[in-house]
Amino acid sequence: MAPPQFFISVFLVSSFLLPSVLGYNANNVKSWCSKTPNPQPCEYFLSQNPINTTIRDEPDFLKISMQLALERATSAQNDMYLLGPKCRNELEKAAWADCLQLYELTILLLNKTVDYSTNLSKDDTQTWLSTALTNLETCRTGFIELGVPDYILPMMSNNVSKLISNTLALNKATFKEPTYKDGFPTWVKPGDRKLLQTSSPASSANIVVAQDGSGNYKTIKDALSAASKRSGSGR
């Protein structure tokens, strides 16, 4: 776990470097935001400090929406940092530390989508954006599973997930139906298919997670952290 100062400096640096996307012509914003699944936060943030700048076209709007999501995620990460002292015990502190890392990862992913020098394909953009959204959900679930006190959840509520959902809808990557062979998508390798088809997958598994202690690890988190330290090229 990195020292807390690390997160503060990430926040300060990024908020200085980010060009603010807030401030567009109100009527223009209303009509563009109406094309998204969550028009309210879209309008709310884009029309702060209205100025006479118009959103040109759909690619321009997608870019602005992704920048807005990045901007709000950066601000939410700072709010998340401030929650630390409110954690009542070690478990909550652990959930909070996970959230900080998940937010950091989310910001990196969103940054990838707004960085036009990388020239991401629509499909890649869709992948990064949905991963970013999943991270935020994981953070929330972590706290809910611990039976988080009522005063914490409102403090965690921000509009970031809604804003990312908007960018996913605007990006409109076409979903390709996978082709199947023997009941598995063709990208599943024969060896993996055999593993998934065995009647006792636990006997061929590298790691078994079981809450009752009968496996190698009690939590998925511990197993993942152990897996990340393994060498070799296995899946």
Ligand X SMILES: *[C@@H]1O[C@H](CO)[C@@H](O)[C@H](O)[C@H]1NC(C)=O
Q: Is 174 in the site for ligand X (CB under 6 A)?
A: no
Which residues 44-63 are close enough to bind ligand X by CB under 6 A?
44, 52
Q: Which residue in 78, 158, 193, 218 binds ligand X (CB under 6 A)?
A: 158
Q: Which residue in 5, 49, 119, 199 binds ligand X (CB under 6 A)?
A: 119
Q: Is 115 in the site for ligand X (CB under 6 A)?
A: yes
Q: Which residue in 27, 31, 34, 40 binds ligand X (CB under 6 A)?
A: 40
- Pick 108 or 208: Cβ nearer ligand X: 108
- Pick 112 or 217: Cβ nearer ligand X: 112
Residue 75, both tokens: 């601000």
Which residues 65-84 are close enough to bind ligand X by CB under 6 A?
70, 74
Question: Contact 129/137 with Cβ under 8 angstroms?
Answer: no
Q: Which residue in 89, 121, 228, 233 binds ligand X (CB under 6 A)?
A: 121
- Pick 121 or 233: Cβ nearer ligand X: 121
- Pick 52 or 200: Cβ nearer ligand X: 52
Question: Contact 96/1 with Cβ under 8 angstroms?
Answer: no
- Pick 20 or 40: Cβ nearer ligand X: 40
Q: Alpha-carbon distance 158 to 163, whole Å? A: 10
* Piece of the chain touching ligand X by CB under 6 A; list 38-46, 55-63, 187-195, 207-215: 38-46
* Piece of the chain touching ligand X by CB under 6 A; list 12-20, 61-69, 193-201, 205-213: 12-20
Q: Alpha-carbon distance 101 to 106, whole Å? A: 8
Q: Is 101 in the site for ligand X (CB under 6 A)?
A: no
- Pick 63 or 217: Cβ nearer ligand X: 63
Residues that bind ligand X (CB under 6 A): 14, 17-18, 40-41, 44, 52, 70, 74, 107, 111, 115, 119, 121, 158-159
